Amino acid sequence: MPAGFSLVIEKGSEVGKKFTFDLNSVRIGRTATENDMILNDRSVSGKHARITFEDGKYFLEDLGSTNKTYFHGMPLEEDQKVRLQNGDEFSLGKIALRFLDHTDDKRDSDTETISTETQAVNAQKVVRKPGIRRESPLKQKPVLIVAGCVALLLIVLTLVKIGTRAPETPRKTDALSHPDYSLQAIPLPAPNTYGYCRPDRTHPDKAIFTFTAQSGSAELHYTVGGVDSEGELVILLNGTKIANAPLAMNGWGLEQSLYLPRELINEGGQNQLAFDNTMNPPGKEEWGVKELRIDFMPAGKCDEVEAIRLFDLGNQMLQEKAVSEGNIFRAYKYYSQAVSQIDGCMPKPAILPEMEKNMRSAKEELDSRYNSLVFSYKKAVKLNNFTQARSELEKIVRLIPDEKDERHKEAVHLLKKISEYLRRRK
């Protein structure tokens, strides 16, 4: 008799709930009559996947599902079996599950044991935004514990997390025990986690994604984690570097957007997008990227006069960045609007490449400045210099003046927290 295992819902309904099985074979799917665990979601097939216990080990296999079973970001072929290890995550359609092996850990508190009865899981309602839980960061950083009451301690812990949602700590496993899928392309959209972190440790060097371009402009959306230094993680489009990924030192950062240069896109054909960790190998830096998608925006207006007016405003804002740091942000917005004004022009105006170049340059400068301020803020918190930390947050608010921007809102939120902490310290 196996020691049993648990499945924890990471994405879908009842996120975080744990169910325990002590069966040699567990079938998972949408129909009640054929499965031991029912996922009532249209993205899950009637008979989707099965977990079996063989020779003291657990294995996962796909049962010919429509949307495939994804393990470490890679789809399983029908009848292909992969070994499940403690902490592995796999996806069935839109539902993500984490596997917990009880062979060496028989703690069953907070779980519901399932032996012969079928457990139905209603996966219609999303409880929270999918993501890795907050409890333990991808790269644990030491936090200065301030003496005082519990309320003050909680505030301090909150202050060290600007713009991050900390993923779980990777298992300390030898890299050689995991296959290296760094050169295997993944089709976009790609909602899972990829890189060298939990749950995926199969892309230590890079993660490569493919997409077919459509007409109009293309904007990449993604989230990175575990990026400690500028230039550690670079983004390449069809082999050409287009940007450095932003810093995300204590876990997952905020969702990012990146305009893909039109001149590098193979319209109507296959394109390759890569996130390359420049320190691995020989390093073993932990990093991750997740929730990737590309939004294609159809060609819109053709107003070259308005585009040039906006372009000139962007140039003016950039020249006056010393007057107000917020002008870097405003310049980027003006450039973006200028590009959109002539996106529908045929043939493309000769000034378009210059507009796109200035837009990318302004964004790189904005991101670099923001990353620098975040680093200074976190350093100040760890040194217990909360006056300096507040000053860095105020600079972020000025750098990104748009109150709807997530970075602005996060800085304002933390300013309130730090002000409350300083008041209680008096």
Alpha carbons 33 and 270: distance in angstroms, whole number = 42
pLDDT tens for the chain, 426 residues long, are 677 899 988 877 667 778 888 889 999 988 877 888 888 877 788 889 999 999 889 999 999 887 788 887 778 887 789 999 898 889 887 788 999 988 755 544 444 444 434 444 443 333 333 333 333 334 443 333 333 444 444 554 455 444 444 444 333 334 445 677 888 899 998 888 899 987 788 899 999 999 998 777 788 999 999 888 888 999 999 999 998 998 887 678 888 888 898 889 987 789 999 999 999 988 888 899 998 988 877 666 789 999 999 999 999 999 999 899 899 999 999 998 898 888 778 888 899 889 989 998 998 899 889 888 988 988 888 888 989 999 999 999 999 999 888 889 889 988 998 888 888 776
User: Strand 89-92 vs strand 248-252: parallel, antiparallel, or unpaired?
Assistant: unpaired
User: Strand 190-196 vs strand 287-297: parallel, antiparallel, or unpaired?
Assistant: antiparallel
Residues making up the chain, counted from first to last? 426
Residues 95 and 9: beta-carbon distance below 8 Å? yes
Encode burial over 318-330: b for 16+ CB neighbours within 10 A, e otherwise.
beebeeebbbbbb
Summarised one tens digit per residue, pLDDT across range 386-410 is 899 999 999 999 999 998 888 898 8
Give one DSSP letter per residue of 352-384, joined into a string.
HHHHHHHHHHHHHHHHHHHHHHHHHHHHHHHTT
pTM for the whole structure = 0.50
421: its two tokens: 């902490």
Summarised one tens digit per residue, pLDDT across range 347-374 is 888 998 899 899 989 988 998 898 889 8
User: Strand 95-101 vs strand 5-11: parallel, antiparallel, or unpaired?
Assistant: antiparallel
**CA-wise closest residue to 229 among 205, 204, 207, 247:** 247
Query: In the Cβ-directed half-sphere of 384, how many Cα atoms lie within 13 Å?
Result: 7
Alpha carbons 4 and 27: distance in angstroms, whole number = 14
Strands (DSSP E) along 177-298, which ranges?
185-187, 190-196, 206-212, 217-227, 233-237, 240-244, 248-252, 256-259, 270-277, 287-297
Alpha carbons 277 and 290: distance in angstroms, whole number = 15
Longest CA pairwise span in the chain (Å):
76
